[in-house]
Structure 1
């Protein structure tokens, strides 16, 4: 073996020196020995001079250079924080086991010892990374698909390197998954008592399934319970264990119909009563001290607000809703525009008692569906006909395009917020898809309740990191160090200790509104949202044009800026860049929408809050779905995505009632709930505003006939949409002006 590797090594030097392609003759993927030999030869033949340390380790391992690989991975582990090395530790134990004649037993013993020496939080993080979000099947299929896609008998260095790295992930995880799954499971049994067979009845006869987690040593104590009420069955046990490890009792309750419940699965509809009844059940248990707190993100954030729809249970002492969706407000539609991502979500959560990952991850199916719908121009309410599978929940959504009683019954409505008198910590992010839901609850609570004890924490996070822990970069933007807080493990439990046990309030909550100012490495703390700003920059649209940009003017003017959108044209799309990914880029599509640019700023400012829009326009139709995107054009010429808004003009005045526009008549369309942001804007920057009509394969197409948008089709697109904006149209940016401090 060593001789053959040496010969291959010299061959590799020769091949790499001349930059030649590598020979590649396919083997049967079921022949693991032949495949391993082939990958080893490729790994030897690949030029590894410019590889990262981690990639070099992968090649050392596949080559069979286990001693070198062990040195490399241990060095990398030493340089990596313990909460970021779950994969690295697997790699190390894998290499060590390769020195043994009995790989499986050696890996099992070393991994068990590793778990024994890890604290509760470390093992919980292993569970989340390796079990709950098990990547193994993806790695296996990704390697196989890449391998099968190769048709040539010679491949480039880059193709070979890519294949070896994917093989590494495939072989490491496929050969260890069953072992670390079982060892993590057994380690949990050593630390916790888990009762996952509880089913409790609701007053209407339905059932809710409960999982109870207690830390051994606390079983006989009466302590506070931390409740997560979720539709995501099987994904919250680690969170309950974390609660137990922090000195509380962890309780998971699943939406009726899920897990062991025999009821029908109906997302969103019954949480307004079921959550309250679960809290009542908890308060009456022998292990309860009659104090219950709730936390969770997204759907689990919504359930906390739903629990207080009719009244606040006396045992409920606080909630921590993170990135909470608000049905009818930001999910499944945003400002009354129905997005199609919720179409697949319905199958994901209702196909079985747990979660249908196979359906959810069938990206070919969902991409084909939305592309076919867009290309053919059929009505939006025909999506499930195109899909070939009835989507009952989706069809229900389409019957309620306004914020009507169907949505209102799910969460507190108007004066129902007034009775909510418990402490609340709302957490969201500038790039959280559900930010508008989180802020809706926050604003409505402040609107109707007198002096609510309600805190807000918001920073440069997305839907995931705002409920867990941010990474160093978000969509290619490097976060300030002070933004790297551990929300999941530290902040929320500091809050629970503060409310339930009388300890110190989390130090980051210095006032009611706490937000991280991007590019300053600081947080700001204000008593209210309005106190975030001390000035406003207002720009008016104008027809003055230089190159591809219209000008943003400081004053209203007599300009008229026209735009035409042909909904019959299915070769092109509009508003394809409204979603912020990546956050910073070199260029934007200068042919998509009306693009306006300001003069350079002559001083530094901080944009703080949600930008406002007041558009004066006329259209030749009765309605239009429009968007406004706000960028910073940096002095270096980069476009940084700050915020955006998308909405339906006929609901601009009232989300509950549709008010159609009069064709060819000037009207005012205003909005105030764009995505909240806080970022320093350097002197010399410009603001770029893109005003657009929504026409793409990600959401409904509003053809403007005034009929039900879900029923409109390409047959309603004979006449192109013509829209005219006037110079009275304005965009107002809330800022913190340093000169006015």
Structure 2
């Protein structure tokens, strides 16, 4: 009995101590020995009973229990697929090296052997995960910031556990980065013949820097070339290596002024001639069989379309633009609303011959800038004045709010699409920030070309995963297994083999439009975008209200729903949640905008395509920037972000010409340029529509005076915006009704 009592007492003391705050006295971050001792003591005092296997390993390692850590970790790493182990393998070699007499020598030797025994694709993925997307500086900075922000001499268990985990990442990567960088680089030289010192001249005298990558071995056979045309100098080598590993020659052409080019850096402006000339140069090389294909995402997708602005080069046999940016369409503005994220991008790509990661990652600077701009209410074209550094490209954007000749000269325009007669595979995602750019090219090509050989592949992917390989979850939504395709390594090269070598077409491309239906674990395949839908759900706004929700009605009605926005008020913002992150959540802000809710769906339906709307309203201004968000309110009561639209009313009719509204006169504004999606909506779900005016620190503020929005300021905000929507306003969802 006495023994049992003592055990219970000890258990109670331990439980009590775990719940207590831990003493914490800061040491100098520059004193690595003192810091290591402090983190070791902290890890020892933390309650690790509820930690995951991976986190338990981290604590065992920090405590110096390397043998225990190795045993814990060996089980975890065996359960992880090879293609997902780039970080974990660093941990494994780290803890093994800690058991040796010389850590650096042991880590170097074991990691070199590991890289040498990996196949081409595995090493390429190591490069992408550990070098191109090098996380070290982030981990080091994240730990230091967390540490420095602690002001108390006691910290909670939660903070202590978080701090130890951040210390682990900071320590492991900072102490091994130089070693694995070197080993991966040396292994590339073993596998590939890389010529990165080529500079070619354009017809106007400008220079373009070229990198050619061949797989070592048979280098005499003429081969097809996979070309990546990119402004992101120094980050596309792995794409060229992948091409070489797949049996092609990989070529990277960087925007004039980048890498070894001595020309001025001119983003966007000269790709329409330079890329064509690069293709011509490739076709004349001794190693070329005069067949060139292009691939790449985002900016590198735009360059593919730019290459065909004037003519399609005879050697260009196909393009695969992924998440392709369309200048003036979805970058730097979306539906004529200029977002400020492009402000920092300009410095990122023009500050040096490669990329300025330091300036790009200076989140404090960019957050301070946009908050200062919003608080002070100065004009949007004064951003660089607030920043204290001239942003030349940004100031150029300020002069071109409409889709004018500045933008039109960059990519094919109208009838220029008619001459594009090569096979094309467009890839994008439902949550890709550049989806509207990708779909602009797709739609314009179909509009001006009879039966183009143009395929579309789209699924529940974002800007990154639509270019690579989707993860199991996207923004907290678990993807269907059917969506987990390897786009970069499998689908794209199956396409290249099909076009360039006469092999089978990728099995997933069963028709011209191929899309994954979320929550069904299936793909649908249709001959066109129009064939995606066979019915429409149309809802009309209504003033009937229950609690926080106005009603969505099936028919037009005599309702009037009023909304007011005071642009002088800089303590609050509107439309802050239009961006879909996370995809599903328990609640939305019911006080931001006008919130409408439908009756429950009586049957399962599939939303397929882009929702559209016709808003009828009266406004006391000459213009307004507005947004419409569509949620699925699930039977379980969660809000799933389906799609959104954001645009400027004065450009609704024509993105090239501004048509101002007449104040206090009823008007109608239609839109159909929302984000495309395909998802099953279960019986019992409701549709929730959030209608809002855009007023936040992420984009221009349109005060409605009718002046150039870039020069408007808070001085133009004396009179609050007042808008009244009528019951003739409608929101329509294209659906696929299997019963029909």
TM bucket (normalised to shorter chain) is: over 0.9
Partner residue in 1 for 2:103: 103
The answer to whether the aligner puts 1:63 opposite 2:63 as a matched pair is: yes
Partner residue in 2 for 1:173: 173
The answer to whether the aligner puts 1:584 opposite 2:584 as a matched pair is: yes
Deviations 1:139-179 (A, max 9, x none): 11211221222222222111111111111111111111111
- TM-score with structure 1 length normalisation? 0.98
Partner residue in 2 for 1:700: 700
State which drifts further: 26-35 or 594-603.
26-35
Distance 1:147 1:13 in 2: 29
Partner residue in 2 for 1:121: 121
Distance 2:479 2:372 in 1: 39
Partner residue in 2 for 1:425: 425
| Structure 1 residue 15: Cα displacement | 6.8
Distance 1:97 1:66 in 2: 10
- Closer, same or farther in 2 for the Cα pair 1:404/1:420, shift >3 Å? same
Partner residue in 2 for 1:293: 293
| Structure 1 residue 358: Cα displacement | 0.7
Partner residue in 2 for 1:626: 626
Partner residue in 2 for 1:560: 560
Deviations 1:317-368 (A, max 9, x none): 0000000000000000000000000001000000111101111111111111
Partner residue in 1 for 2:488: 488
Partner residue in 1 for 2:616: 616
Distance 1:26 1:651 in 2: 57
Distance 1:524 1:353 in 2: 44
Q: Are the equivalent residues in 1 in contact too, given 2:210–2:253 (CA < 8 A)?
A: yes
The answer to whether the aligner puts 1:414 opposite 2:414 as a matched pair is: yes
- Closer, same or farther in 2 for the Cα pair 1:28/1:406, shift >3 Å? same
Q: Are the equivalent residues in 1 in contact too, given 2:348–2:355 (CA < 8 A)?
A: yes
Partner residue in 2 for 1:3: none
Deviations 1:359-394 (A, max 9, x none): 111111111111111111100011000000011100
Unpaired stretches in structure 2, ≥5 consecutive residues: 1-9
Partner residue in 1 for 2:369: 369
Distance 1:105 1:23 in 2: 37
Distance 1:488 1:66 in 2: 38
| Structure 1 residue 31: Cα displacement | 2.0
The answer to whether the aligner puts 1:202 opposite 2:182 as a matched pair is: no
Distance 1:527 1:411 in 2: 26
Unpaired stretches in structure 1, ≥5 consecutive residues: 1-9
Partner residue in 2 for 1:465: 465
Instruction: Give the 3-state SS of the residue equivalent to 1:516 in structure 2.
Output: strand
Q: Are the equivalent residues in 2 in contact too, given 1:610–1:672 (CA < 8 A)?
A: yes
Partner residue in 2 for 1:531: 531
Instruction: Give the 3-state SS of the residue equivalent to 1:569 in structure 2.
Output: coil
| Structure 1 residue 281: Cα displacement | 0.3
Partner residue in 2 for 1:4: none
Instruction: Give the 3-state SS of the residue equivalent to 2:739 in structure 1.
Output: helix
| Structure 1 residue 668: Cα displacement | 1.1
Distance 1:626 1:123 in 2: 47
Note the 1:335-374 alignment, pairs <5 A.
335-374=335-374
Partner residue in 2 for 1:510: 510
Partner residue in 2 for 1:674: 674
Partner residue in 2 for 1:572: 572
Note the 1:7-86 alignment, pairs <5 A.
14=14, 17=17, 19-86=19-86
Partner residue in 2 for 1:159: 159
- Closer, same or farther in 2 for the Cα pair 1:601/1:188, shift >3 Å? same
- Closer, same or farther in 2 for the Cα pair 1:12/1:435, shift >3 Å? farther
Distance 2:304 2:18 in 1: 64
Q: Are the equivalent residues in 1 in contact too, given 2:139–2:166 (CA < 8 A)?
A: yes
Q: Are the equivalent residues in 1 in contact too, given 2:626–2:646 (CA < 8 A)?
A: yes
Q: Are the equivalent residues in 1 in contact too, given 2:304–2:321 (CA < 8 A)?
A: yes
Note the 1:243-392 alignment, pairs <5 A.
243-392=243-392
Distance 1:579 1:139 in 2: 26
Instruction: Give the 3-state SS of the residue equivalent to 1:410 in structure 2.
Output: coil
| Structure 1 residue 18: Cα displacement | 5.4
Distance 1:557 1:490 in 2: 52
Partner residue in 2 for 1:218: 218
| RMSD across aligned positions (CA) | 1.1
Distance 2:639 2:144 in 1: 38
Q: Are the equivalent residues in 2 in contact too, given 1:11–1:45 (CA < 8 A)?
A: no
Q: Are the equivalent residues in 2 in contact too, given 1:374–1:570 (CA < 8 A)?
A: yes
Q: Are the equivalent residues in 2 in contact too, given 1:426–1:457 (CA < 8 A)?
A: yes
Q: Are the equivalent residues in 1 in contact too, given 2:626–2:648 (CA < 8 A)?
A: yes
| Structure 1 residue 11: Cα displacement | 12
| Structure 1 residue 454: Cα displacement | 0.3
Instruction: Give the 3-state SS of the residue equivalent to 1:466 in structure 2.
Output: coil
- TM-score with structure 2 length normalisation? 0.98
| Structure 1 residue 511: Cα displacement | 0.5
Instruction: Give the 3-state SS of the residue equivalent to 1:42 in structure 2.
Output: helix
| Structure 1 residue 17: Cα displacement | 4.3
Distance 1:544 1:135 in 2: 52
Distance 1:347 1:731 in 2: 40
Q: Are the equivalent residues in 2 in contact too, given 1:445–1:452 (CA < 8 A)?
A: yes
Q: Are the equivalent residues in 1 in contact too, given 2:18–2:47 (CA < 8 A)?
A: no
Q: Are the equivalent residues in 1 in contact too, given 2:228–2:252 (CA < 8 A)?
A: yes
Instruction: Give the 3-state SS of the residue equivalent to 1:95 in structure 2.
Output: helix
Deviations 1:664-709 (A, max 9, x none): 1111100111000000000000000111111110000000110000
| Structure 1 residue 138: Cα displacement | 1.3
- Closer, same or farther in 2 for the Cα pair 1:288/1:23, shift >3 Å? same
Instruction: Give the 3-state SS of the residue equivalent to 1:27 in structure 2.
Output: coil
| Structure 1 residue 219: Cα displacement | 1.6
Partner residue in 1 for 2:479: 479
After superposing on structure 2, the runs of 4+ consecutive aligned residues of structure 1 that deviate more than 6 Å are: 10-13
- Closer, same or farther in 2 for the Cα pair 1:608/1:435, shift >3 Å? same
The answer to whether the aligner puts 1:454 opposite 2:434 as a matched pair is: no
Distance 1:472 1:100 in 2: 37
Distance 1:114 1:13 in 2: 46
Q: Are the equivalent residues in 2 in contact too, given 1:429–1:466 (CA < 8 A)?
A: yes
Deviations 1:398-442 (A, max 9, x none): 100010000000000000000000000000000000000000000
Instruction: Give the 3-state SS of the residue equivalent to 2:349 in structure 1.
Output: helix
Deviations 1:574-604 (A, max 9, x none): 1111100110111111111111111000000
